[in-house]
Chains A and B, each alone.
Chain A
Amino acid sequence: MRRVSRGFIVFILAFTVYVVYTGSISGYDIVTGVIVSAVIGALFSNIVVEKPIKVVDPRRWLHLLVYALLYFTYYEAKAHIDVIRRILHPKLPVNPAIVEAPYRIESDFAITAVANSITNTPGTVVVDIDPSKKNFYIHWISAKTLDPLEARREIFETFEKHAKRIFE
């Protein structure tokens, strides 16, 4: 029963992607979409979803929307302007270091979301991750601090807060 509900969630996600991608709701597309999504749902049910109830919670989707809007307007713009200024500056002011910063999230989805958010903002790239010590190792173009907790606050504390609300 659990496997069916998990598979159904994957089916819905895959079918949504299919419909958006093809941009049509003709009979042919619905039928092929249902067949393909059903196969994907059966194959990936136990890999993608752990607790199906989390996926249907509208508050999580609302948080995802809020986070996406904030991220794409404010955080991306701030980081891009900073790195573009460094690239175009005649003296190339860089001060890089690989800093360690501890994270406090548990689920794989949340860790991936935070790591991707860090790497997608120019100026910070996650080089390695240590699951036993729960550390990110981040290459930072302008290391303001080498202290792990300070680095965590400067780089990804807000991403982590949002990821926690979305995925945990």
Chain B
Amino acid sequence: MLEAQLVLVLVGSALLCLGAFAAIVSAIGFHRFKNFYLRLHAATVGTIWGSVYPLIGAALIAITISELGAYRWFVPGAIIVAAIIVLMLAPAGSHALARGVHRARVARVKPCLADKLDPELCG
């Protein structure tokens, strides 16, 4: 039992550390990329490794904490549902942003190899 708890805490901590690293890299990418569409890719790093993975890590750690009492299963359950919702809705937000910006011609694709959707917005 104790070994199982130790494994859960170690895996959970590893996921949390990965999340912290990914969040920082995502923030750096947000500043270094100068184009809207490239920033979307940096934001994706911050959503999946930066929030879904550490949420699952936090759930694994919460399972082992028996001091939570009546909330022992509420915390991991709520976290896992939150992780699944982020996983399904974050890309919907990215689609909406990308499609809206492209249709409204707010940002150009730059640098650009080709734009099959609207060649005028290339470059």
Contact = CB atoms under 8 A, between A and B. Distances in A.
Contact of A141 (B41, B78, B114): B41
Interface size class of A (residues with CB under 8 A): 35 or more
Contacts of A58: none
A69 interface: no
B48 to A, nearest CB: 6
B4 interface: no
Interface string B18-57: 0000100110110011010110111011011100000000
Interface string A110-146: 0000011001111111111000000001010101001
B116 A99 contact: yes
Contacts of A104: none
Interface centre among B37, B47, B78 (most CB of A within 10 A): B37
B81 interface: yes
Contacts, number: 135
A8 B83 CA distance: 25
Given A84-B45, A96-B109, A116-B92, A127 B98 contact: yes
B59 to A, nearest CB: 10
Interface in B79-123: 80-81, 87-88, 90-92, 94-95, 98-99, 102-103, 109, 111-117
A22 B77 contact: yes
Interface of A is mostly: mixed
Contact of B115 (A76, A97, A124, A126): A97
30 contacts: A17-B81, A19-B77, A21-B77, A21-B78, A22-B77, A23-B73, A80-B22, A84-B45, A87-B28, A87-B45, A95-B111, A96-B35, A96-B109, A96-B112, A99-B114, A100-B117, A116-B91, A119-B94, A119-B95, A120-B44, A122-B41, A122-B42, A122-B44, A122-B45, A125-B41, A126-B91, A128-B102, A137-B116, A137-B117, A139-B98
